[in-house]
Amino acid sequence: RRLLDLDTAALFAEFSTLTNLIEVANTGALRQTATAAALKGGGRRGIPDVTKLASTKDLLSAITLLDSNEPMLKNLNEMVLSELPGVHEGEDESELSLHKLAMKAAVHLPGIREKSFTRLSEIAETAPSEKYRQAAMVAMNSLPYAEWPKGFDQYAVAAKIDPQKLAFGKEVYFKEQLCATCHQPNGMGMNPAYPPLSESPWVNGDPERFIRIALNGLQGGVRVNGKDYNSAMAPLGALLTDEEAAAVLTYVRTSFGNLSTEIDKELVAKVRNETKERKKLWTAKELLGDQPTEEEMETMLPDSSGAADSQRQFVKMWTLQDFDGNLGGGSPARGKEIFAVAGCVDCHAVGGEGNKVGPELTKVSSKYRGQKLLQQILEPSAEINEEFASELVETVDEEMFTGLVLKEDSDSISILANPTNPEDLTVIAKADIVSRRPGTLSSMPTGLLIMFEREEILDLLAYLEKGGAE
What CATH number did the domain enclosing 458 receive? Answer: 1.10.760.10
Q: Do the beta carbons of residue 220 and residue 254 sit within 8 Å?
A: no
304 or 188, which is more confident: 188
Say if residue 352 is in the same domain as residue 291. Answer: no
Say if residue 173 is in the same domain as residue 297. Answer: yes
What is the arrangement of strands in the sheet containing 400-408, beginning at the earlier edge strand? 425-429, 412-416, 400-408, 391-395, 433-438
* Least confident piece of the model among 15-24, 226-235, 257-266: 226-235
Say if residue 116 is in the same domain as residue 62. Answer: yes
In this prediction, residue 361 carries a pLDDT of: 86
* Cα 466–chain centre separation: 38
Say if residue 11 is in the same domain as residue 141. Answer: yes
Cβ partners under 8 Å of residue 82, min gap 6: none
Euclidean distance between CA atoms 415 and 403, whole angstroms = 6
In this prediction, residue 123 carries a pLDDT of: 93
The pLDDT of 312-322, averaged and rounded, is: 81
In this prediction, residue 306 carries a pLDDT of: 40
Euclidean distance between CA atoms 255 and 158, whole angstroms = 9
* Least confident piece of the model among 12-16, 401-405, 417-421, 429-433: 417-421
Q: Identify whether 269 is part of a domain.
A: yes
* Least confident piece of the model among 98-112, 198-212, 373-387: 373-387
Say if residue 119 is in the same domain as residue 250. Answer: no
* Least confident piece of the model among 144-158, 205-219, 321-335: 321-335
Which of the listed residues 256, 273, 304 is the one where a domain comes to its end? Answer: 304
In this prediction, residue 351 carries a pLDDT of: 85
Say if residue 296 is in the same domain as residue 200. Answer: yes
The pLDDT of 289-301, averaged and rounded, is: 64
pLDDT band of 300, cuts 50, 70, 90: low
The pLDDT of 34-56, averaged and rounded, is: 94
Euclidean distance between CA atoms 166 and 199, whole angstroms = 18
424 or 312, which is more confident: 424
Say if residue 177 is in the same domain as residue 71. Answer: no
Task: Give the domain range for residue 45.
Answer: 2-157
Q: Identify whether 86 is part of a domain.
A: yes
Tell me the per-residue pLDDT of 60-106, one tens digit each, with 9 for 90 and over. 999 999 999 999 999 999 999 999 988 776 556 678 888 999 999 99
Which of the listed residues 304, 339, 366 is the one where a domain comes to its end? Answer: 304
Q: What is the 3-state secondary structure (H, E, C) of the chain?
A: CHHHHCCHHHHHHCHHHHHHHHHHCCCHHHHHHHHHHHHHHHHHHHHHHHHHHCCHHHHHHHHHHCCCCCHHHHHHHHHHHHHCCCCCCCCCHHHHHHHHHHHHHHHHCHHHHHHHHHHHHHHHHHCCCHHHHHHHHHHHHCCCHHHCCCCCHHHCCHHHCCHHHHHHHHHHHCCCCCCHHHHCCCCCCECCCECCCCCCHHHHCCHHHHHHHHHHCECCCEEECCEEECCCECCCCCCCCHHHHHHHHHHHHCCCCCCCCCCCHHHHHHHHHHCCCCCCCECHHHHHCCCCCHHHHCCECHHHCCCCCCCCCCCCCCCHHHHCCCCCCCCHHHHHHHHHHCCHHHCCEECCEECCCCCCCCCHHHCCCHHHHHHHHHCCCCCCCHHHCCEEEEECCCCEEEEEEEEECCCEEEEECCCCCCCCEEEEEHHHEEEEEECCCCCCCCCCCCCCCHHHHHHHHHHHHCCCCC
The pLDDT of 109-132, averaged and rounded, is: 92
Tell me the range of 181-190, 368-377, 397-406, 421-430 where mean pLDDT is highest: 368-377
pTM of the full predicted structure? 0.75
Tell me the per-residue pLDDT of 352-382, one tens digit each, with 9 for 90 and over. 888 877 888 888 888 888 889 899 888 888 8
Q: Identify whether 244 is part of a domain.
A: yes
* Cα 458–chain centre separation: 33
In this prediction, residue 382 carries a pLDDT of: 81
* 43: pLDDT strictly greater than 60: yes
Q: Identify whether 371 is part of a domain.
A: yes
Tell me the per-residue pLDDT of 413-468, one tens digit each, with 9 for 90 and over. 998 877 767 777 889 988 888 888 887 777 787 778 888 999 999 999 999 988 87
Say if residue 12 is in the same domain as residue 151. Answer: yes
Q: Identify whether 315 is part of a domain.
A: no
* 239: pLDDT strictly greater than 70: yes
* 221: pLDDT strictly greater than 80: no
> Would you call 132 exposed, middle or buried from its count of C-beta atoms within 10 A (0-12, 13-18, 19+)?
buried
List the end-to-end C-alpha distance of the chain, in Å, as a whole number.
Answer: 57
Question: Nearest-CA neighbor of 47 among 25, 75, 67, 70?
Answer: 75
343 or 143, which is more confident: 143
The pLDDT of 40-64, averaged and rounded, is: 94
In this prediction, residue 394 carries a pLDDT of: 85
Question: Nearest-CA neighbor of 81 among 64, 95, 99, 65?
Answer: 99
Q: Do the beta carbons of residue 78 and residue 111 sit within 8 Å?
A: no
* 233: pLDDT strictly greater than 70: yes
The pLDDT of 127-149, averaged and rounded, is: 91
Euclidean distance between CA atoms 207 and 263, whole angstroms = 7
**Number of domains comprising the chain:** 4
Tell me the per-residue pLDDT of 160-175, one tens digit each, with 9 for 90 and over. 999 999 999 999 998 8
The pLDDT of 324-341, averaged and rounded, is: 88
Say if residue 96 is in the same domain as residue 144. Answer: yes
In this prediction, residue 1 carries a pLDDT of: 65
In this prediction, residue 445 carries a pLDDT of: 76
